[in-house]
Amino acid sequence: MITAATWEVNIALLQYAMDKDVEKGRKVRIDCTIVESNIHAPFDSELLWDSVRVLTRILNRAKEHLFGLRFSFMNHILSNKRRRLEIMNAKNAKGRKKAYKVLIKMTEKTVSYAESEQRSLKKLGALSLP
């Protein structure tokens, strides 16, 4: 995106700075300008849904890799995704509040599944966490 004319100006400025012993010209410094992007803000419902999604993925991987250990948990990903969409598309605060309550409850359940399995794995020595 830099044109030849821009390079010429840059080289001329650098040569001037070198002649005046202001700059040696061995390093290039770049200015980063912040621009607006299409990344969404982290809404509470998104963070809760991400938490359930990631914890469920971790629990599923643990279940696959630890054949001798039996544990079960309810996969709330689909239900949480529906609640998240309900919150996003709610027409009023009452509907949003109801969906949030369910979303929080399912997130708490998923966290309790993960904590329970962490305790079980620690007892067996299969997990070395502080």
Helix (H), strand (E) at residue 111 = helix 93-124
Burial class (CB in 10 A: 0-12, 13-18, 19+), 99: buried
pLDDT in tens, 26-81: 887 777 777 777 776 778 888 898 899 999 998 888 877 776 666 778 888 889 88
Q: Check residue 127 and give its pLDDT.
A: 52
CA pair distance 88, 84, nearest whole angstrom: 6
The residue behind tokens 């469920």 is 56
| Residue 129 banded pLDDT, cuts 50, 70, 90 | very low
Conformational region of residue 32, where left means phi above 0, alpha means psi within -120 to 50, and beta covers everything else = beta
CA pair distance 66, 69, nearest whole angstrom: 6
| Residue 123 banded pLDDT, cuts 50, 70, 90 | confident
| Residue 126 banded pLDDT, cuts 50, 70, 90 | low
Q: Check residue 6 and give its pLDDT.
A: 87
Q: What are the sequence ranges of the domains in the chain?
A: 44-124
**E strand map for 1-130:** none
pLDDT in tens, 73-84: 888 888 988 998
